A = this chain, B = another copy of it.
Amino acid sequence: MTSAQAQLPRIEFWFDPASTYSYIAAADVARLEAEGRAHVDYRPFLLGPIFARQGWADSPFNLYPAKGDYMWRDLARLCAERQLPLQRPSRFPRHSVLSAGVALVGLDAGWGKRFVMAMYRANFGEDVDIATTDGLARVLRDLDLDPAPILADASAPPIRARLRAATGEAVARGVFGAPSFFAGDTLFWGTDRLDTALRHAQA
């Protein structure tokens, strides 16, 4: 960390690759960092086990169709405002354990934040199946990365254990959805609360 980064407000960004609103949040936190306004710690985790504890075997956007129909229209407006591509994925939500693992590998190696944005664009802007090694290999190659060793690491026990631990940490800290942000130990839920989290981190 440079001394300039040490001065910046710090925010944690908790995301699941399958989460639609996390696509928006990934773009927004990337802009915050690009503008030198915050340092963002990317924290991939899995919503599936959290939803299962709430009794949901599927995304609430599928379980509650009126809510889901609205979400896709709302997402289209949010993407248009940011000039982000949107193509409703042929499958939603996509299984996210492998892509979350790749994110962890990449965050260790220094290319994780670029991967996260590319992965979200692929999932929600291009209907690439990020649940599969083929889909993720395409995303990684587009970033000039060699997919094979990365995908092997991403599905190996150490990364799986870290993902489980991250998900347990999320539950312990009160996370119930994605995207979530922390400023210190204070939780903020939803893309709409990023500005509030930033103000909290500045204070």
Question: What residues of chain A have their CB less than 8 Å away from a CB belonging to chain B?
Answer: 54, 64, 66-67, 69-70, 73-74, 77, 171, 174-177, 187-190, 192-193, 196
Instruction: Please name the 8 residue pairs, one residue from A and one from B, whose CB atoms are nearest each other, closest first.
Output: A66-B176, A192-B192, A67-B176, A66-B174, A54-B64, A70-B189, A70-B187, A64-B176
A74-B189, A189-B74 are known contacts. Are A67 and B177 too (CB-CB below 8 A)?
A: yes
**How far apart are the CA atoms of A187 and B54 in the complex, in Å?**
27
A174 CB contact (under 8 Å) in B69, B171, B187, B193: B69
Beta-carbon nearest neighbor of A67 in chain B: B176
A-B contact pairs, 13 of them (CB 8 A): A54-B64, A64-B176, A66-B171, A66-B174, A66-B175, A67-B176, A69-B174, A70-B174, A70-B187, A70-B189, A73-B187, A74-B189, A77-B196
**How far apart are the CA atoms of A171 and B77 in the complex, in Å?**
22
**How far apart are the CA atoms of A54 and B174 in the complex, in Å?**
24
**How far apart are the CA atoms of A66 and B64 in the complex, in Å?**
20
**How far apart are the CA atoms of A59 and B187 in the complex, in Å?**
21
Beta-carbon nearest neighbor of A64 in chain B: B54
Least Cβ distance of A50 to chain B in Å? 8
**How far apart are the CA atoms of A176 and B70 in the complex, in Å?**
9
**How far apart are the CA atoms of A105 and B189 in the complex, in Å?**
37
**How far apart are the CA atoms of A14 and B141 in the complex, in Å?**
49
Q: Identify which of A66, A176, A177, A196 gathers the most chain B CB atoms within 10 Å of its CB.
A: A66
